[in-house]
Amino acid sequence: MSTIVIGFDKVKIIRDVNVPLFRFIDYFKGFEEVEAVIRLFGDETEKVLNELWIEFRSRRGYMGVNDQDGHLIINAEYLRNGDARDIYLDIIHELVHVKQFMDGKQLRDRRFNYVERPTEIEAYRHTVEEAKNIGMTTKQIFEYLKTESMTDDDAMKLANVLGINYLP
């Protein structure tokens, strides 16, 4: 807690804000039985998912992992209105980042462009494998990979690294 003096008035601003966190398993059911998730966490799958927390925000973006404690951050609007298949794949992608966090990897290594970052390539590789397992076409996978924050060149670079040979 800290006190800030503004002008002649002494005001107290509580800066230690508690962000409400929710249990992953209360919002995402059955992931402990998904082979792609079991490949990540092995025998610890149920334990990891039971101990995983999520934070809902109304921020830009879709999902991410908090790099302080490894909990998921999910855009509430995206969860409400996003494409169900995309949400599913994004959860798989972010669970790879949770595993990377647990393994002590640096998730946002700024030395690399986003589509060249080793942690992103690993997460996308795992996600693309699951996309194929659920029957997505090469075109659908490419469209999933291409986000509005990516240039066309970056999307093609990522797709090529992942073995997705598609020409839009």
| CA distance linking residue 164 with residue 168, whole number of Å | 12
Cα separation, 122 vs 118, whole angstroms: 6
Q: What is the mean pLDDT of residues 27-55?
A: 98
Query: Is 21 in contact with 39 (CB distance < 8 Å)?
Result: no
- Give the confidence band of 17 by pLDDT, cuts at 50, 70, 90: confident
Average pLDDT of the residues of the chain:
91
Pairing of strands 22-23, 53-57: antiparallel
**pTM beyond 0.85:** yes
Q: Is the pLDDT of residue 59 over 90?
A: no
Asked if residue 40 has pLDDT above 70, the reply is yes
Instruction: Compute the C-alpha angle 88/92/97, nearest 5°.
Output: 140
Task: Report residue 53's pLDDT band, with 50, 70 and 90 as the boundaries.
Answer: very high
Token code pair at residue 120: 């992103």
Which residues are 155's β-sheet partners? none
49-63 burial by CB neighbour count: b if 16+ within 10 A, else e?
beebbbebeeeeebb
The vertex-130 CA angle with 124 and 131, nearest 5°, equals: 85
Is residue 1 scored above 80 in pLDDT?
A: no
Taking the domains of the chain in order of start, what are their residue ranges? Answer: 20-161
The more confidently predicted of residues 137 and 150 is: 137
Q: Check residues 8 and 165 and name the one with the higher pLDDT.
A: 165
Q: Compute the C-alpha angle 54/120/50, nearest 5°.
A: 25
